[in-house]
Amino acid sequence: MSYQNTSLIKICLVEDDNIIREGFVMLLNENQGFKVVSAYNNCEDFLRNVQTDKPNVVLMDIELPGMNGIEGIERTKKIYPHAQIIVVTVYENDDLVFKALCAGAGGYLTKNMPSQRLIEAIREIMGGGAPMSTNIARLVVASFQKNHNSPLSSRETEVLELLSRGKSYSNIAEGLFIDKETVRTHIKNIYWKLEVHSKAEAIEKAMKEKLI
Amino acid sequence: MSYQNTSLIKICLVEDDNIIREGFVMLLNENQGFKVVSAYNNCEDFLRNVQTDKPNVVLMDIELPGMNGIEGIERTKKIYPHAQIIVVTVYENDDLVFKALCAGAGGYLTKNMPSQRLIEAIREIMGGGAPMSTNIARLVVASFQKNHNSPLSSRETEVLELLSRGKSYSNIAEGLFIDKETVRTHIKNIYWKLEVHSKAEAIEKAMKEKLI
DNA sequence: CTGAATCTCACCCAATTTGGGGGGATTTAA
DNA sequence: TTAAATCCCCCCAAATTGGGTGAGATTCAG
């Protein structure tokens, strides 16, 4: 087996803004134990070289010419799953954050951070963490929480929950030890309260409003 | 409107270990701007007083005599949603973390942290963040990510995704601009690959293995 | 180039599910 | 004592579902 300096963290950058990219390169290389192996201004070039660059950490922008960062994260994870990817962007948009995390990002920083935070973040992700900006962490945690102003009763919520897991009325009845007809009544009431007329609509609305 | 010192953070503790609880009280009260209004060794007593204590932040243990912390978080959020709750526990169990966050926890720390981290965490949660221990943050972020070793093709995954949202075969066919019969074929193949024989089983298995 | 995998569509059948309509009983909290 | 929540029952017709079988087209790696 060849020698590997485990304390040297190899970093790739994917960032189209020349100023920011070069700034990051300098900042990181100043740091003992960090080595920026390559810096790209687009995903395509990065993806062509990731397997030879063998980065431990990738700092990836989202808004990029050509392929966007989300797609870039997905592809990176497919061909070089070993890399830890930290998104560095100006966007604090909910949707983008979740897409990035689903695609495989291991951290998410906004560009308004103090530059020292970048250093910490890289150490953090190599140490088994998931560096996030304050607001991002809040977004992520909030995504687990349910709406406390649900129009549905707790029993109705329970029924809808099971319905959303693909259970049939009979399944639900068994699971809750009630009659199938009772389940039907609950579902009728759910539809009435949510102003929908089908399972799919009910689940969609319930998901969007975080009722389940 | 009555005078409110916005810089004074009122804290409640719920922790059954006397040593730890008293340690936290001292640690926090030493800090300018923090005031421990009450410290309880069980949830029941805390819940009876939360509306008069009016804490900004609650530090809550999970393993407690009587009502457990998860239940405690839920009830607190129901009767006093304003409070930010930080779980402080020894457990790093996946299931417990997600249950706590779903119940309404805004942060999650493990007791092996440096005590200074507690101070930071309280500032962090008051500043709109979501303080988490390193490993917890990783758990949370990982929960968004899909299994990269899925036996399903991308089309099959797409179909199963829509199925899990309660869509019927016809709905899915419309959504993907393919024939209903094709959807049926995909689903048959999904069932074969996942070794299941119904929608509910397929969704359950897919969720558990993070295929969708 | 060949074979495996994937994606697409078709037709058969029977059982189950679903949505909508109606009616009622009991408990519980405001 | 109302209103709500929860529970149960009946009817019906349309739609959905699961299983079987077969088959053309494309893509992709060995």
State yes or no: pLDDT of A44 exceeds 70.
yes
- What CATH code is carried by the domain that includes residue B198? 1.10.10.10
**CA-to-C1' span, A154 to D5 (A):** 10
CB contact under 8 A, A141 and B78: no
Q: The tokens of A26 are what?
A: 């300098």
Domain that holds residue A92: 9-142
Q: What is the pLDDT of residues A135-169, one digit of tens each?
A: 999 999 999 999 988 999 999 999 999 999 999 99
- What CATH code is carried by the domain that includes residue A41? 3.40.50.2300
**A140, A164, A202 member nearest B130 (Cβ):** A140
Quick one: B202 and B134 in the same domain?
no
Q: Where are the alpha helices (DSSP H) in chain A?
A: 18-29, 43-53, 69-79, 94-103, 115-126, 134-142, 154-164, 169-176, 180-194, 199-208
Quick one: A35 and A126 in the same domain?
yes
Over residues A80-90, mean pLDDT: 96
Quick one: A197 and A110 in the same domain?
no
- Backbone φ and ψ for A18, nearest 5 degrees, come out as -60, -45
Task: Measure the CA–CA gap between A82 and A55, rounded to whole angstroms.
Answer: 8
Tell me the residues of chain A between 150 and 169 that have a Cβ less than 8 Å away from chain B. 163-168
Quick one: A180 and A200 in the same domain?
yes
Q: What is the pLDDT of residues B139-181, one digit of tens each?
A: 999 999 999 899 999 999 999 999 999 999 999 999 999 999 9
Assess if residue B168 is contained within a domain.
yes
The structure tokens 């910490």 sit at A120
Over residues B7-18, mean pLDDT: 96
Quick one: B92 and B174 in the same domain?
no
State yes or no: pLDDT of A191 exceeds 80.
yes
Assess if residue A176 is contained within a domain.
yes
Chosen domain end from A116, A142, A168: A142
Quick one: B168 and B194 in the same domain?
yes
Task: Measure the CA–CA gap between A169 and A190, rounded to whole angstroms.
Answer: 14
pLDDT score, position B1: 47
Alpha-carbon torsion, ordered B120, B124, B129, B131, to 10 deg:
20
Quick one: A37 and A125 in the same domain?
yes
Q: What is the pLDDT of residues B76-96, one digit of tens each?
A: 998 999 999 999 999 999 999
Quick one: B57 and B136 in the same domain?
yes
Q: What is the pLDDT of residues A172-188, one digit of tens each?
A: 999 999 999 999 999 99
Number of domains, chain A:
2
**CA-to-C1' span, B182 to C6 (A):** 12
Confidence of residue B208 (pLDDT cuts 50, 70, 90): very high
Confidence of residue A47 (pLDDT cuts 50, 70, 90): very high
Nearest in space to A87 (alpha carbons), one of A100, A74, A102, A77: A100
Task: Measure the CA–CA gap between B116 and A97, rounded to whole angstroms.
Answer: 29
Task: Measure the CA–CA gap between B181 and B184, rounded to whole angstroms.
Answer: 5
The fraction of chain A above a pLDDT of 70, given in percent, is: 97
pLDDT score, position B5: 53
State yes or no: pLDDT of A5 exceeds 80.
no
Chosen domain end from B142, B165, B189: B142
pLDDT score, position B155: 98
Assess if residue A149 is contained within a domain.
no
CA distances from B140 to B108, B133, B169 (A): 10, 11, 33
Between A129-133, B56-60, B71-75, the lowest mean confidence (pLDDT) is in B71-75
Confidence of residue A209 (pLDDT cuts 50, 70, 90): very high
Assess if residue B3 is contained within a domain.
no
Task: Measure the CA–CA gap between A175 and A181, rounded to whole angstroms.
Answer: 14
Average pLDDT, chain A: 95
Assess if residue A129 is contained within a domain.
yes
Chosen domain end from A95, A112, A142: A142
Assess if residue A42 is contained within a domain.
yes
Quick one: B119 and B168 in the same domain?
no
Over residues B111-115, mean pLDDT: 94
Nearest-Cα residue of chain B relative to residue A170:
B200
Q: Does B144 touch chain A (CB under 8 A)?
A: yes
Quick one: B89 and B190 in the same domain?
no
Contact between B69 and B87 under an 8 Å Cβ cutoff? The reply is: yes
If phi > 0 it is left, if psi is from -120 to 50 it is alpha, else beta; for residue B11 that is: beta
Confidence of residue A3 (pLDDT cuts 50, 70, 90): low
State yes or no: pLDDT of B2 exceeds 80.
no
The fraction of chain B above a pLDDT of 90, given in percent, is: 94
DSSP state of A33: T
Assess if residue A93 is contained within a domain.
yes
State yes or no: pLDDT of A2 exceeds 50.
no
**A130, A137, A207 member nearest B129 (Cβ):** A137
What does the angle CA B67 – CA B70 – CA B72 come to, to the nearest 5 degrees? 50
Assess if residue A148 is contained within a domain.
no
Quick one: B105 and B188 in the same domain?
no
Contact between A175 and A167 under an 8 Å Cβ cutoff? The reply is: yes
User: Which bases of chain C are contacted by protein, using any atom under 7 A from a CB?
Assistant: 5-11, 16-24
Quick one: A29 and A85 in the same domain?
yes
CB contact under 8 A, A141 and B127: no
